[in-house]
Amino acid sequence: MAERPEFQEKQYAFAAHIRDPQHVPAPDGVEDRRMAIYRELFFNNLRSLLSNMFPVLKKLHADDKWRRLIRKFMQKHQAQTPYFLELPGEFLGFLQNEYEPEADDFPFLIDLAHYEYIELALSVSDESDNLEGVDRDGDLLNGIPVKSVLAWVYAYQYPVHRISEDYQPTEPGEQPTYLAVYRASNDKVGFLELNPVTAGLLNAIEENEVGKSGKSLLRELAADVNYPNVDAFIQHGLAAMEEMRALEILTGTRTAG
């Protein structure tokens, strides 16, 4: 392999020192006063960016712990993007795959980081719903319910939407926490907590490639969960779908056939 030109060697040495100044010496011939400006500039910009994009995570951590997390991210993670808005995804990937947990970490660290990342990713997503042929006020039982592409469903071990300075669970919940995180037409991001059955219903609506009606989907789901009163189950399911439509998690219905 050909050797890198001298200026590239300087660039690599400069970047390596910026990422890990405690363990990697600065390039030769650069005044430390000037290097200190770059060290602080890079670190503080990254800390500010991630603090704004993970606000709850930042608020829960003592400043020195948060600084250590950011520094370890700089030291250990090789980012694959030059875009600021993609750095939160890189930070989440670091926490999921490279970060070595410490004794004083929150047990919900990864779950909360994922939830905050999803809120951000959804807010800047360039996806949009194709509403051609969709009846906003259509019959949810006899028509084919349509899920918004801007409604994403996740299951968490912890109730991440409730975590705050006043509520910090130490153990996973007995059941997963299901959340539909969505972006409405006014561009506001919200969430709806689901139970296992409504999460299953929303999943069935999303995967309904053969065009089953809402009633058919509910009948199948009632059989799957061995619900004794199918008619009552359908009415509960209709109420859930109406709530999801009001929140724009469902965009409406299509006509069968």
Burial letters for 168-181: b for 16+ Cβ neighbours within 10 Å, e otherwise?
ebeeeeeebbbbbb
Is 122 within a domain? no
- Which one of 83, 105, 127 terminates a domain? 105
Same domain, 170 and 101: no
Same domain, 248 and 152: yes
Same domain, 150 and 90: no
Is 187 within a domain? yes
Q: What is the pLDDT of residues 53-103, one digit of tens each?
A: 999 999 999 999 999 999 889 888 777 776 778 889 999 999 999 999 999
43: its two tokens:
């670190």
- Which one of 54, 83, 105 terminates a domain? 105
Is 139 within a domain? no
State the residue range of the domain holding 59: 6-105
Q: Tell me what pLDDT residue 44 has.
A: 83
- Which one of 74, 89, 105 terminates a domain? 105
Work out how many domains the chain is built from and give that number.
Answer: 2
Q: Tell me what pLDDT residue 79 has.
A: 75
Is 126 within a domain? no
Q: What is the pLDDT of residues 152-181, one digit of tens each?
A: 999 999 999 999 999 999 999 999 999 999
Is 216 within a domain? yes
Is 183 within a domain? yes
Is 110 within a domain? no
Same domain, 156 and 250: yes
Residue % of the chain over a pLDDT of 90 = 74
List the beta strands (DSSP E) in the chain.
144-147, 151-156, 177-183, 189-194, 250-254
Same domain, 234 and 164: yes
Say what the pTM is: 0.87
CATH of the domain at 229: 3.90.930.50
119 pLDDT above the threshold of 70: yes
Same domain, 73 and 156: no
Is 20 within a domain? yes
Same domain, 148 and 90: no
Alpha carbons 8 and 14: distance in angstroms, whole number: 10
DSSP symbols for 18-53: HH-TTTSPPPTT--HHHHHHHHHHHHHHHHHHHHHH
Same domain, 187 and 241: yes
- 1 pLDDT tier (thresholds 50, 70, 90): very low
Alpha carbons 100 and 249: distance in angstroms, whole number: 37
Same domain, 92 and 31: yes
Q: Tell me what pLDDT residue 32 has.
A: 67
200 pLDDT above the threshold of 80: yes
Same domain, 55 and 154: no
CATH of the domain at 79: 1.10.150
